[in-house]
A and B are shown apart, each in its own frame.
Chain A
Amino acid sequence: MLLFFEQCLNGLQLGIMLFLMSAGLTLVFGIMRVINLAHGSFYMIGAYVGATVASSTGSFLLGIVAALPAAACTGMLVEWIVLRRLYNRDHLDQVLATFGLIMFFNELTRIIWGRQPLFMDVPPWLNHGVDLLPGLTYPAYRLAVIFVGLSVALFLWLLFSKTRLGMQIRAGAVNREIVAALGVNITLLNTLVFGLGTLLAGLAGVMAGPILAVESGMGESILILTFVVIVIGGIGSIRGALAGAILVGMVDTLGRAFLPTLFHIFFHSTNADAVAASLSSMGIYILMAVILVWKPRGLFPAHS
């Protein structure tokens, strides 16, 4: 039972990471109608800048402080130079261009930082276990990730439902021409939305730094999961992104954790391990298929 609870926490933590990534991606996709494959690159930039600053100053917080504007500024620069030309083009052109951006950023990090993965440590004040229940110790750092992620979700909800900016962004998603005609600078709004999305990706990246290897191409592995999340959640919906992310995190983690045990009960063969491994890595895609059959536009479609 304790193990199940711990695995749920693990799933929640993975889900939160995915939420930070997919919140930005779903905004860009839903509002600007751009498929941005390069979203993982901003995650990578956040991690690299964070790791570099944290190791040279010795302060993890300074690492975060540096990573966020780095990711956001790179994002806005990319929007200004590349994506702005793609809004009225075909999705295929967008995929091609942003795929090129992935390669560009992967090579760029290799040129600047070299091929060797960077080292980033958990800050000492979070490098201990927290006794949640008797017999259940959970790393403080992962709890902090969960906390930050939930705070971001709250902040986004407030931003979108309570502020004027949020209202303009939502309106822009429904009909950009009308919003522009009402005197809102939609171009600037797009740049800001893109900057916000990449800022969140950078935050996810820098928080993943102490847990993962900070290396060139690290964004691609999380990008695929992120796309699954926004398809499940409904494209353009922050609420959907949160629900989808936690669902995907849970299914992936619990599948990896308990399928092998489950298979050993039913099959006594040595193949049980391999079958369970294959099936648990398929789990989230099966989930996606089932949800799309049930709700073709995702759990919380944005413009219903």
Chain B
Amino acid sequence: MKKYCTILLACLLATPVLAAEPVKIGMVTTLSTKAGYLGEDIRDGFQLAIDQEAGKLGGVAVDLMVEDDGRKPEKGKQIAERFIKKDKVQILTGIVFSNVAMAVVPKVVRQDVVYLSTNAAPSKLAGKGCNSNYFSVSYQNDNLDEVVGKYVSEVGHKSVYLLAPNYPAGKDHLAGFKRFYNGNIAGEVYTKLGQSDYAAEIATLRAAKPEAVFFFLPGGMGINFLKQYSQAGLSKDIPVYGPAFSFDERILKAVGPAALGVKNGSQWAHDLDNPANKQFVQAYQKAYGRMPTLYASQGYDTARLIGSALKAVSGDLTNLEAFKAAVKNADFESVRGNFSFGTNQHPVQDLYIREVISKDGGFTNKTVQKVFSNHVDAYASECKM
């Protein structure tokens, strides 16, 4: 503590004007409801980066303010307004769900506020709706489906059965898969949002005799589907694929052995071989006593990216353009290895196929292979910036 005080004192003496006030960062995220663990992991990953620098990011003292949006777009909007008007926050981040992001982001980026997405990245904000104040650090929503589509084609599955909930994100994710998949579609089924019993769909699926199944069923829906699919005895004959959302360490614990061997698409895995990642996985486990998830890695990366930009402008946000330019440089060690921003300020990154394995009595993913190198999302060309 004493050492930090000395450093703090040194900083104070070196830049007497700036160091007085910590830079405020507003995090609007989902901490309540069933999906609350997503926000929890984003927050914990973010906080870890701050703790590792003893309350600073990039050598600049920061004040992280976290509020729960309860997965409600209206509430997210109110919190963001309050952060901006009352707390004079200029850096916002943290939203988990695309519908909340669509309510908050287009509004806040019209002001002198930079928003960095830790998860949700709907296509509307990547293409025509792109904005110089908006960055996505995680991905563009379709990326994790595109990588599976490409992989499934490469493996040589000639027909695939598709399953998603009947709402806009469900259709987007299936479209992402189809963009890079060049075989036949054996069937395309949209189920009720929040459906719990999939017996009827599984029986129809079996009768359609596809070579593989691709599903996007986030949260409890995915748990239900995977368990019932395995109980129907299909997992041996027809392999299942999906984006990483149904295969994070917390969900896998509830699915149990039914998910073993399932391949899924992701931009991160705990075993990616780079020093930043090794250090992160170890530190996260030590700090919170559990394996980091994809979401935690996104929170951590966002914090370190903000740190790199704050360092470049010495914590001075009065010239927001300079800060934005520094963010866009992405001069930080990402836990994903390669990381840079494309023209629409979404990541240009490598995408992987992972496989669910059991490890130390629990379940996690191991990297199988890299499918895309420096992948650019499909909407970048529509963005005029």
Contact = CB atoms under 8 A, between A and B. Distances in A.
B166 A278 contact: yes
Interface in B177-235: 187-192, 194-197, 199-201, 203-204, 207, 219-220, 223-224, 227-228, 231-233
Interface string A50-93: 00000000000000000000000000000000000000000000
Contact of A116 (B37, B196, B228): B37
A115 B203 contact: no
Interface string A37-50: 00000000000000
A117 B200 contact: no
A62 to B, nearest CB: 18
Interface of A: 3, 6-7, 10-11, 13-14, 115-119, 121-122, 127, 129, 137, 139, 141-142, 208, 210-218, 221-222, 253-254, 256-257, 260-261, 273-274, 277-278, 281
Interface string B239-271: 000000000001101111100000000000000
A213 B231 contact: no
B200 to A, nearest CB: 4
Contacts of B201: 256-257
A281 B166 contact: yes
Contacts of B250: 116
A277 B204 contact: no
Nearest to B194: A221
7 contacts: A115-B40, A213-B196, A216-B34, A274-B171, A277-B166, A278-B166, A281-B192
Contact of B203 (A129, A211, A257): A257
What is the predominant secondary structure among interface residues of chain A facing chain B?
A: helix
Contacts of A273: 188-190
Contact of A122 (B219, B231, B251): B231
* Cβ-closest 4 pairs across A and B: A213-B223, A117-B254, A277-B190, A10-B199
A252 to B, nearest CB: 8
Contact of A119 (B166, B171, B232, B254): B254
Contacts of B233: 129, 137, 139
Given A210-B231, A277-B166, 11 more contacts: A6-B203, A10-B197, A115-B34, A117-B253, A119-B254, A142-B199, A213-B220, A214-B254, A217-B33, A253-B199, A274-B190
B223 A253 contact: no
What is the predominant secondary structure among interface residues of chain B facing chain A?
A: helix
Contacts of A214: 254
B127 interface: no
A6 B203 CA distance: 7
Q: A3, A116, A215, A274: which has the most chain B beta carbons within 10 Å?
A: A116
A119 B253 contact: yes
Given A117-B254, A122-B231, A218 B189 contact: no
B364 to A, nearest CB: 15
Contacts of B251: 117
A142 B190 CA distance: 24
A277 B189 CA distance: 8
A211 B200 contact: no
Contacts of A278: 166
A257 B34 contact: no
